[in-house]
Amino acid sequence: MLKTLRTNDTALMILFTLVVLAGPLILAPVGAGYPDLMQRFVIYGIFAIGFNILFGLTGYLSFGHAAFLGVGSYSALWMLKLLSINIVPAIIFAVVVSGLFALLIGFVSLRRSGIYFSILTLAFAQMSYNLAYSVLTPITNGETGLQLDLEDPRILDSAGSAGQVASPSFFGLEMGDTAVVPFLGMDLQFNVGFYVSALILIGMFYLSLRIFRSPFGMILRAVKSNQTRLNYTGFNSRPYTLTAFVISGMYAGLAGALLVCMDPLAGAERMQWTASGEVVLMTIMGGAGTLIGPVLGAGIIKYFENIFSRINDEVVLGWFSALPDWLAEAFTTVISPFLGSGWHISLGLIFMLVVIFLPGGLVEGANRLMNLFTRLSGPRKNTASEEDAYADKGSLPTKAAPSSTVVNTKES
Protein backbone atom coordinates (compact mmCIF):
# COMPACT_ATOMS: atom_id res chain seq x y z
CA MET A 1 0.00 0.00 0.00
CA LEU A 2 2.80 2.38 0.88
CA LYS A 3 4.38 1.93 -2.47
CA THR A 4 1.36 3.21 -4.35
CA LEU A 5 1.32 6.21 -2.06
CA ARG A 6 4.75 7.27 -3.08
CA THR A 7 3.93 7.55 -6.77
CA ASN A 8 0.70 9.30 -5.93
CA ASP A 9 2.61 11.75 -3.77
CA THR A 10 4.53 13.16 -6.69
CA ALA A 11 1.33 13.66 -8.61
CA LEU A 12 -0.32 15.22 -5.56
CA MET A 13 2.61 17.55 -5.03
CA ILE A 14 2.62 18.69 -8.65
CA LEU A 15 -1.13 19.18 -8.72
CA PHE A 16 -1.06 21.08 -5.44
CA THR A 17 1.71 23.36 -6.68
CA LEU A 18 -0.12 24.09 -9.90
CA VAL A 19 -3.39 24.84 -8.19
CA VAL A 20 -1.82 27.12 -5.61
CA LEU A 21 0.22 29.06 -8.13
CA ALA A 22 -2.82 29.46 -10.36
CA GLY A 23 -4.72 30.89 -7.40
CA PRO A 24 -5.59 34.29 -8.88
CA LEU A 25 -6.98 32.65 -12.02
CA ILE A 26 -9.04 30.08 -10.14
CA LEU A 27 -10.35 32.42 -7.48
CA ALA A 28 -11.24 35.45 -9.57
CA PRO A 29 -14.44 33.92 -11.05
CA VAL A 30 -15.79 33.14 -7.56
CA GLY A 31 -15.15 36.67 -6.35
CA ALA A 32 -12.21 35.76 -4.14
CA GLY A 33 -9.41 36.84 -6.45
CA TYR A 34 -8.18 39.81 -4.47
CA PRO A 35 -4.87 39.87 -2.59
CA ASP A 36 -6.17 40.04 0.97
CA LEU A 37 -8.32 36.93 0.74
CA MET A 38 -5.89 34.96 -1.39
CA GLN A 39 -3.16 35.63 1.16
CA ARG A 40 -5.50 34.51 3.91
CA PHE A 41 -6.33 31.26 2.13
CA VAL A 42 -2.68 30.43 1.86
CA ILE A 43 -1.64 31.54 5.34
CA TYR A 44 -4.46 29.77 7.13
CA GLY A 45 -3.68 26.79 4.95
CA ILE A 46 -0.19 26.74 6.50
CA PHE A 47 -1.72 27.10 9.95
CA ALA A 48 -4.10 24.20 9.38
CA ILE A 49 -1.42 21.96 7.87
CA GLY A 50 0.66 22.52 10.98
CA PHE A 51 -2.25 21.80 13.26
CA ASN A 52 -2.92 18.62 11.33
CA ILE A 53 0.60 17.35 12.01
CA LEU A 54 -0.30 17.28 15.69
CA PHE A 55 -3.98 16.45 15.61
CA GLY A 56 -4.21 14.38 12.48
CA LEU A 57 -1.23 12.21 13.31
CA THR A 58 -1.14 11.92 17.09
CA GLY A 59 -4.80 12.57 17.82
CA TYR A 60 -3.89 15.11 20.50
CA LEU A 61 -6.56 17.80 20.19
CA SER A 62 -4.95 21.12 21.06
CA PHE A 63 -7.43 23.84 21.77
CA GLY A 64 -4.88 26.57 22.12
CA HIS A 65 -3.06 26.67 18.83
CA ALA A 66 -3.99 30.27 18.16
CA ALA A 67 -1.59 31.29 20.92
CA PHE A 68 1.35 30.28 18.71
CA LEU A 69 -0.13 32.17 15.80
CA GLY A 70 -0.38 35.25 18.00
CA VAL A 71 3.12 34.87 19.41
CA GLY A 72 4.44 34.53 15.87
CA SER A 73 2.59 37.67 14.82
CA TYR A 74 3.84 39.77 17.69
CA SER A 75 7.44 38.66 17.41
CA ALA A 76 7.47 39.17 13.65
CA LEU A 77 6.01 42.62 13.99
CA TRP A 78 8.56 43.58 16.61
CA MET A 79 11.27 42.48 14.22
CA LEU A 80 9.75 44.64 11.49
CA LYS A 81 9.65 47.54 13.92
CA LEU A 82 13.08 47.16 15.48
CA LEU A 83 15.34 45.47 12.99
CA SER A 84 14.35 45.75 9.37
CA ILE A 85 11.33 46.06 7.16
CA ASN A 86 12.54 42.98 5.31
CA ILE A 87 10.30 40.03 6.09
CA VAL A 88 13.03 37.39 6.24
CA PRO A 89 14.41 38.13 9.72
CA ALA A 90 10.88 38.68 10.97
CA ILE A 91 9.73 35.25 9.79
CA ILE A 92 12.79 33.47 11.13
CA PHE A 93 12.52 35.16 14.50
CA ALA A 94 8.79 34.41 14.72
CA VAL A 95 9.28 30.73 13.96
CA VAL A 96 12.02 30.45 16.57
CA VAL A 97 10.05 32.26 19.26
CA SER A 98 6.85 30.34 18.66
CA GLY A 99 8.84 27.12 18.61
CA LEU A 100 10.29 27.90 22.03
CA PHE A 101 6.87 28.88 23.30
CA ALA A 102 5.42 25.64 21.96
CA LEU A 103 8.22 23.69 23.61
CA LEU A 104 7.34 25.22 26.97
CA ILE A 105 3.60 24.71 26.68
CA GLY A 106 3.92 21.33 25.05
CA PHE A 107 6.29 20.09 27.73
CA VAL A 108 3.73 20.90 30.41
CA SER A 109 0.54 20.02 28.55
CA LEU A 110 1.70 16.68 27.17
CA ARG A 111 1.93 15.33 30.68
CA ARG A 112 -1.82 14.79 30.35
CA SER A 113 -3.85 13.26 27.58
CA GLY A 114 -7.38 13.31 26.20
CA ILE A 115 -9.68 16.07 27.31
CA TYR A 116 -7.24 17.09 30.06
CA PHE A 117 -4.63 17.89 27.43
CA SER A 118 -7.17 19.94 25.46
CA ILE A 119 -8.14 21.95 28.52
CA LEU A 120 -4.51 22.58 29.46
CA THR A 121 -3.70 23.97 26.02
CA LEU A 122 -6.91 25.96 26.10
CA ALA A 123 -5.99 27.39 29.49
CA PHE A 124 -2.52 28.42 28.32
CA ALA A 125 -3.91 30.04 25.19
CA GLN A 126 -6.61 31.91 27.09
CA MET A 127 -3.99 33.13 29.54
CA SER A 128 -1.84 34.37 26.67
CA TYR A 129 -4.83 36.08 25.11
CA ASN A 130 -5.95 37.76 28.31
CA LEU A 131 -2.44 38.86 29.16
CA ALA A 132 -1.90 40.23 25.65
CA TYR A 133 -5.11 42.14 26.09
CA SER A 134 -4.31 43.63 29.48
CA VAL A 135 -1.06 43.30 31.38
CA LEU A 136 1.21 42.93 28.37
CA THR A 137 -0.17 46.01 26.65
CA PRO A 138 3.27 47.65 26.39
CA ILE A 139 4.32 44.75 24.15
CA THR A 140 1.05 44.05 22.39
CA ASN A 141 -0.70 47.42 22.32
CA GLY A 142 -3.79 45.76 23.76
CA GLU A 143 -7.07 45.75 21.93
CA THR A 144 -5.99 48.12 19.15
CA GLY A 145 -3.25 45.80 18.10
CA LEU A 146 0.43 46.36 17.45
CA GLN A 147 1.22 48.38 14.33
CA LEU A 148 4.12 49.81 12.43
CA ASP A 149 4.83 53.41 13.25
CA LEU A 150 6.57 56.39 11.73
CA GLU A 151 8.94 56.49 14.69
CA ASP A 152 10.06 52.86 14.53
CA PRO A 153 13.84 52.64 15.02
CA ARG A 154 14.57 49.85 12.49
CA ILE A 155 18.30 49.42 12.95
CA LEU A 156 19.14 47.94 9.55
CA ASP A 157 17.23 50.23 7.23
CA SER A 158 16.73 53.82 8.28
CA ALA A 159 13.15 54.98 8.70
CA GLY A 160 11.24 55.12 5.44
CA SER A 161 10.27 57.92 3.11
CA ALA A 162 9.12 61.05 4.87
CA GLY A 163 5.62 60.94 6.26
CA GLN A 164 4.77 57.41 5.16
CA VAL A 165 5.12 54.18 7.05
CA ALA A 166 7.19 51.69 5.06
CA SER A 167 5.48 48.48 4.11
CA PRO A 168 7.02 45.04 4.64
CA SER A 169 9.03 43.80 1.72
CA PHE A 170 11.20 40.95 0.53
CA PHE A 171 14.45 42.64 -0.48
CA GLY A 172 12.63 45.60 -1.98
CA LEU A 173 9.63 43.69 -3.30
CA GLU A 174 6.75 45.11 -1.32
CA MET A 175 4.13 42.64 -0.17
CA GLY A 176 1.36 45.00 -1.22
CA ASP A 177 2.49 45.23 -4.84
CA THR A 178 -0.08 43.89 -7.23
CA ALA A 179 -0.06 43.57 -10.97
CA VAL A 180 -3.53 43.76 -12.45
CA VAL A 181 -4.08 41.89 -15.68
CA PRO A 182 -7.42 42.02 -17.49
CA PHE A 183 -8.39 38.53 -18.57
CA LEU A 184 -11.73 37.43 -20.07
CA GLY A 185 -13.45 40.43 -18.54
CA MET A 186 -12.01 39.78 -15.11
CA ASP A 187 -9.21 41.64 -13.39
CA LEU A 188 -6.65 39.10 -12.28
CA GLN A 189 -4.60 40.43 -9.40
CA PHE A 190 -1.12 38.99 -9.14
CA ASN A 191 0.13 40.01 -5.75
CA VAL A 192 3.68 39.71 -4.46
CA GLY A 193 2.57 38.86 -0.93
CA PHE A 194 0.37 36.08 -2.21
CA TYR A 195 3.15 34.46 -4.17
CA VAL A 196 5.62 34.75 -1.33
CA SER A 197 3.12 33.01 0.98
CA ALA A 198 2.16 30.55 -1.71
CA LEU A 199 5.76 29.41 -2.21
CA ILE A 200 6.09 28.98 1.53
CA LEU A 201 2.82 27.04 1.61
CA ILE A 202 4.08 24.69 -1.08
CA GLY A 203 7.29 24.18 0.87
CA MET A 204 5.38 23.54 4.06
CA PHE A 205 3.02 21.16 2.32
CA TYR A 206 5.98 19.20 1.05
CA LEU A 207 7.48 19.12 4.52
CA SER A 208 4.23 17.84 5.98
CA LEU A 209 4.05 15.20 3.25
CA ARG A 210 7.52 14.04 4.19
CA ILE A 211 6.59 13.93 7.85
CA PHE A 212 3.46 11.93 7.09
CA ARG A 213 5.48 9.37 5.18
CA SER A 214 8.48 9.21 7.50
CA PRO A 215 9.13 6.68 10.30
CA PHE A 216 8.55 9.60 12.65
CA GLY A 217 5.06 9.95 11.19
CA MET A 218 4.47 6.24 11.70
CA ILE A 219 5.34 6.55 15.38
CA LEU A 220 2.97 9.46 15.74
CA ARG A 221 0.23 7.37 14.18
CA ALA A 222 1.02 4.59 16.59
CA VAL A 223 0.50 7.10 19.41
CA LYS A 224 -2.89 7.86 17.98
CA SER A 225 -4.08 4.31 17.58
CA ASN A 226 -3.00 3.13 21.01
CA GLN A 227 -0.57 5.06 23.12
CA THR A 228 -0.89 2.80 26.13
CA ARG A 229 0.15 -0.23 24.13
CA LEU A 230 3.02 1.71 22.64
CA ASN A 231 4.24 2.70 26.08
CA TYR A 232 3.95 -0.87 27.36
CA THR A 233 6.40 -1.99 24.70
CA GLY A 234 8.96 0.12 26.50
CA PHE A 235 8.81 2.88 23.98
CA ASN A 236 8.84 6.42 25.31
CA SER A 237 6.49 8.27 23.02
CA ARG A 238 6.57 11.64 24.72
CA PRO A 239 9.65 13.04 22.92
CA TYR A 240 7.90 12.26 19.65
CA THR A 241 4.62 13.87 20.57
CA LEU A 242 6.51 16.86 21.93
CA THR A 243 8.41 17.17 18.66
CA ALA A 244 5.14 17.05 16.76
CA PHE A 245 3.72 19.68 19.07
CA VAL A 246 6.68 21.98 18.56
CA ILE A 247 6.69 21.51 14.79
CA SER A 248 3.03 22.31 14.67
CA GLY A 249 3.56 25.35 16.91
CA MET A 250 6.27 26.55 14.54
CA TYR A 251 3.90 26.19 11.59
CA ALA A 252 1.44 28.35 13.49
CA GLY A 253 4.15 30.89 14.27
CA LEU A 254 5.10 30.97 10.60
CA ALA A 255 1.49 31.61 9.66
CA GLY A 256 1.28 34.37 12.27
CA ALA A 257 4.44 35.98 10.92
CA LEU A 258 3.12 35.87 7.37
CA LEU A 259 -0.12 37.47 8.49
CA VAL A 260 1.69 40.54 9.80
CA CYS A 261 4.00 40.63 6.80
CA MET A 262 0.96 40.91 4.55
CA ASP A 263 -0.89 43.32 6.80
CA PRO A 264 1.28 44.79 9.54
CA LEU A 265 -1.13 44.72 12.46
CA ALA A 266 -1.22 42.10 15.20
CA GLY A 267 -4.43 42.05 17.20
CA ALA A 268 -4.94 40.03 20.35
CA GLU A 269 -8.16 38.49 19.01
CA ARG A 270 -6.18 36.13 16.87
CA MET A 271 -5.18 34.34 20.08
CA GLN A 272 -8.69 33.92 21.46
CA TRP A 273 -10.16 30.46 21.94
CA THR A 274 -12.52 31.01 19.02
CA ALA A 275 -9.46 31.38 16.79
CA SER A 276 -8.08 28.13 18.17
CA GLY A 277 -11.47 26.58 17.56
CA GLU A 278 -11.40 27.84 14.00
CA VAL A 279 -8.31 25.87 13.07
CA VAL A 280 -9.82 22.75 14.64
CA LEU A 281 -12.89 23.29 12.51
CA MET A 282 -10.83 23.88 9.37
CA THR A 283 -8.93 20.67 9.90
CA ILE A 284 -11.89 18.48 10.73
CA MET A 285 -14.04 19.98 8.04
CA GLY A 286 -11.42 19.37 5.39
CA GLY A 287 -10.50 15.97 6.77
CA ALA A 288 -8.23 15.46 9.76
CA GLY A 289 -5.23 13.29 9.06
CA THR A 290 -5.43 13.85 5.34
CA LEU A 291 -2.80 15.90 3.59
CA ILE A 292 -4.94 18.20 1.54
CA GLY A 293 -7.97 18.41 3.82
CA PRO A 294 -6.80 21.14 6.19
CA VAL A 295 -5.93 23.47 3.31
CA LEU A 296 -9.34 22.85 1.82
CA GLY A 297 -11.08 23.49 5.14
CA ALA A 298 -9.13 26.69 5.69
CA GLY A 299 -10.10 27.92 2.25
CA ILE A 300 -13.80 27.25 2.74
CA ILE A 301 -14.05 28.84 6.18
CA LYS A 302 -12.14 31.94 5.07
CA TYR A 303 -14.27 32.16 1.94
CA PHE A 304 -17.41 32.19 4.06
CA GLU A 305 -16.05 34.71 6.49
CA ASN A 306 -14.97 37.13 3.78
CA ILE A 307 -17.40 36.66 0.91
CA PHE A 308 -20.68 35.60 2.49
CA SER A 309 -20.51 38.27 5.16
CA ARG A 310 -20.35 40.93 2.47
CA ILE A 311 -23.44 39.96 0.54
CA ASN A 312 -26.10 42.43 1.62
CA ASP A 313 -29.79 42.62 0.76
CA GLU A 314 -29.17 44.81 -2.26
CA VAL A 315 -26.81 42.27 -3.78
CA VAL A 316 -29.29 39.46 -3.21
CA LEU A 317 -32.04 41.53 -4.73
CA GLY A 318 -29.73 42.09 -7.68
CA TRP A 319 -29.46 38.32 -8.27
CA PHE A 320 -33.19 38.09 -8.76
CA SER A 321 -33.60 41.32 -10.68
CA ALA A 322 -34.83 39.37 -13.70
CA LEU A 323 -37.79 38.05 -11.74
CA PRO A 324 -40.96 39.99 -10.99
CA ASP A 325 -40.60 42.30 -8.01
CA TRP A 326 -42.75 40.38 -5.55
CA LEU A 327 -41.01 37.11 -6.36
CA ALA A 328 -37.59 38.72 -6.08
CA GLU A 329 -38.48 40.13 -2.70
CA ALA A 330 -39.84 36.80 -1.53
CA PHE A 331 -36.61 35.08 -2.51
CA THR A 332 -34.59 37.81 -0.86
CA THR A 333 -36.51 37.45 2.38
CA VAL A 334 -35.88 33.72 2.41
CA ILE A 335 -32.21 33.85 1.52
CA SER A 336 -30.88 36.97 3.18
CA PRO A 337 -30.97 35.68 6.79
CA PHE A 338 -28.26 33.27 5.71
CA LEU A 339 -26.05 35.87 4.06
CA GLY A 340 -24.52 39.16 5.05
CA SER A 341 -24.69 39.60 8.79
CA GLY A 342 -26.25 36.14 9.06
CA TRP A 343 -23.30 34.34 7.49
CA HIS A 344 -22.60 32.59 10.77
CA ILE A 345 -25.82 30.62 10.37
CA SER A 346 -24.72 29.22 7.04
CA LEU A 347 -21.32 28.38 8.46
CA GLY A 348 -22.87 26.60 11.44
CA LEU A 349 -25.20 24.64 9.20
CA ILE A 350 -22.35 23.61 6.95
CA PHE A 351 -20.31 22.38 9.93
CA MET A 352 -23.22 20.27 11.00
CA LEU A 353 -23.96 18.90 7.56
CA VAL A 354 -20.34 18.02 6.91
CA VAL A 355 -19.89 16.24 10.21
CA ILE A 356 -23.19 14.41 9.97
CA PHE A 357 -22.87 13.20 6.43
CA LEU A 358 -19.12 13.25 5.78
CA PRO A 359 -17.37 12.08 8.94
CA GLY A 360 -14.02 12.14 7.20
CA GLY A 361 -14.45 15.73 6.09
CA LEU A 362 -14.61 17.11 2.60
CA VAL A 363 -11.79 14.90 1.41
CA GLU A 364 -13.97 11.91 2.16
CA GLY A 365 -16.76 13.54 0.20
CA ALA A 366 -14.48 13.99 -2.76
CA ASN A 367 -13.37 10.40 -2.48
CA ARG A 368 -16.93 9.16 -2.38
CA LEU A 369 -17.67 11.08 -5.52
CA MET A 370 -14.55 9.73 -7.16
CA ASN A 371 -15.45 6.23 -6.09
CA LEU A 372 -18.94 6.60 -7.48
CA PHE A 373 -17.35 7.71 -10.68
CA THR A 374 -14.96 4.79 -10.93
CA ARG A 375 -17.68 2.33 -9.96
CA LEU A 376 -19.83 3.62 -12.76
CA SER A 377 -17.05 3.52 -15.29
CA GLY A 378 -15.65 0.13 -14.48
CA PRO A 379 -15.60 -2.77 -12.00
CA ARG A 380 -13.79 -2.20 -8.74
CA LYS A 381 -10.74 -4.26 -8.03
CA ASN A 382 -9.35 -4.14 -4.55
CA THR A 383 -12.56 -3.80 -2.57
CA ALA A 384 -11.61 -6.33 0.04
CA SER A 385 -8.30 -4.82 0.99
CA GLU A 386 -9.80 -1.39 1.19
CA GLU A 387 -12.51 -2.48 3.53
CA ASP A 388 -9.98 -4.26 5.67
CA ALA A 389 -8.02 -1.09 6.00
CA TYR A 390 -11.07 0.68 7.30
CA ALA A 391 -12.57 -2.07 9.34
CA ASP A 392 -11.65 -0.32 12.56
CA LYS A 393 -13.38 2.84 11.55
CA GLY A 394 -16.63 1.98 13.19
CA SER A 395 -18.68 4.99 12.29
CA LEU A 396 -17.70 5.09 8.68
CA PRO A 397 -20.09 3.18 6.45
CA THR A 398 -18.08 0.33 4.99
CA LYS A 399 -19.40 1.17 1.58
CA ALA A 400 -17.76 4.55 1.71
CA ALA A 401 -14.82 4.97 -0.53
CA PRO A 402 -11.58 5.18 1.31
CA SER A 403 -8.68 6.88 -0.28
CA SER A 404 -5.04 6.18 -0.11
CA THR A 405 -4.44 9.51 1.53
CA VAL A 406 -7.16 9.25 4.15
CA VAL A 407 -5.96 8.39 7.59
CA ASN A 408 -8.55 7.39 10.14
CA THR A 409 -9.97 10.22 12.12
CA LYS A 410 -9.48 9.86 15.80
CA GLU A 411 -11.26 7.12 17.62
CA SER A 412 -11.55 7.09 21.34
Partner 1 sequence: MDAILLQVLNGLDKGSAYALIALGLTLIFGTLGVVNFAHGALFMIGSFCTVTFNNLLSFERVTLSETELSPWGTPLEIHVPYVELWFGELGATMIDYSVFWSILFAIPVMLLIGIVMERGLIKHFYKRPHADQILVTFGLAIVLQEVIKTVYGANPIPQPAPDAFVGSVDIGAMIGMADNAVIYPIWRLVYFLFAGVVIGGIFAFLRYTTFGMVVRAGMADRETVGLLGIDIDKRFTAMFGLAAVVTGLAGVMYTPILSPNYHMGMDFLVLCFVVVVVGGMGSLTGAVAAGFLLGILQSFASMPEVKDFLFGFSIDQVIIYLVAVIILLTRPRGLMGRKGVMET
Partner 2 sequence: MSNYYLNRRKFLQGSAVLGAGLVAPTIFSRTAGAFTNEPGKGSVVLGFNVPQSGPYADEGADELRAYKLAVKHLNGEGDGGMLGTFSSQMLKGTGILGRKVEYVTGDTQTKSDAARASARAMIEKDGAIMITGGSSSGVAVAVQSLCQDAGVIFMAGLTHSNDTTGKDKKANGFRHFFNAYMSAAALAPVLSEHYGNDRKAYHLTADYTWGWTQEQSMIAATEELGWETVNAVRTPLSATDFSSYIAPVTNSDADVLILNHYGSNMVNSLTNAVQFGLREKKVNGKQFEIVVPLYSRLMARGAGDNVKGIFGSTNWHWSLQDEGSKAFVASYGKEYGQPPSQAAHTCYVQTLLYADAAERAGSFNPCAIVEALEGFEFDGLGNGKTLYRADDHQCFKDVLVVRGKENPTSEFDLLEVVNVTSADKVTYEPNHPMFAGGSLGKCNPGA
Spatial CB neighbours of 236, under 8 Å, sequence gap ≥ 6 = none
Q: Which stretch binds partner 2 (CB under 8 A): 214-222, 259-267, 285-293, 331-339?
A: 259-267
Say how many residues touch partner 1, by CB under 8 A: 51
DSSP 86: B
Give the phi and the psi of residue 98 in degrees, each rounded to 5: -70, -30
Could you say which of partner 1, partner 2, none residue 108 binds, taking C-beta under 5 to 8 angstroms by partner kind?
A: partner 1
DSSP conformational letter for 156? S
Buried b (16+ CB within 10 A) or exposed e, 330-360: eebeebbebbbeebeeebeeeeeebeeebbb
Least Å from the CB of residue 382 to partner 1: 26
Contact between 110 and 223 under an 8 Å Cβ cutoff? The reply is no
Long-range contacts of range 338-342, CB-CB < 8 Å, 24 or more positions apart? 339/308, 339/311, 339/312, 340/308, 340/309, 340/310, 340/311, 340/312, 340/313, 340/316, 341/309
CA distances for 149 relative to 90, 175, 265, angstroms: 16, 17, 11
Q: Which residues pair with 73 in a beta bridge?
A: none
Q: Phi-psi bin for 191: left (phi > 0), alpha (psi -120 to 50), beta?
A: beta
Is residue 171 a contact residue for partner 2 (CB under 8 A)? yes
CB of 61 to partner 1, least distance (A): 6
Amino acid at 319: W
Q: Does 344 bind partner 1 (CB under 8 A)?
A: yes
SS3 for 242-280, per residue? HHHHHHHHHHHHHHHHHHHHHCCEECHHHHCHHHHHHHH
The site partner of 176 among partner 2, partner 1, none (C-beta below 5 to 8 Å per kind) is partner 2
Give me the DSSP letters along 286-301: H-TT-SSHHHHHHHHH
Contacts with partner 1 in 273-292 (CB under 8 A)?
273-274, 277, 280-281, 284-285, 288
| 206 part of the interface to partner 2, by CB under 8 A | no
Cβ proximity to partner 1: between 27 and 125 the closer is: 125
Closer residue to partner 2 (CB): 97 or 148: 148
CA distance 361 to 280: 12
Judged by CB under 8 A, the residue of 218, 345, 369, 370 near partner 1 is: 345
Span 383-412, contacts to partner 1 by CB under 8 A: 394-395, 409-412
Would you call 146 helix, strand, or coil by DSSP?
strand
- Counting contacts by CB under 8 A, is residue 176 touching partner 2? yes
Tell which positions 326-345 bind partner 2, by CB under 8 A: 340-341, 343-344
115, 218, 323, 369: which one binds partner 1 (CB under 8 A): 115
Site for partner 1 in 123-162 (CB under 8 A): 123-124, 126-127, 130-131, 133-135
Which residues of this chain interact with partner 2, rule CB under 8 A? 18, 21-22, 24-25, 31, 34-37, 40, 130, 133-134, 142-145, 147-150, 162-165, 167, 171-174, 176-181, 187-190, 192, 195, 263, 265, 267, 269-270, 305-306, 309-310, 312, 340-341, 343-344
The footprint of partner 1 (CB under 8 A) covers: 55, 61, 108, 111-116, 119-120, 122-124, 126-127, 130-131, 133-135, 227-228, 273-274, 277, 280-281, 284-285, 288, 337, 342, 344-345, 347-352, 354-356, 359, 394-395, 409-412
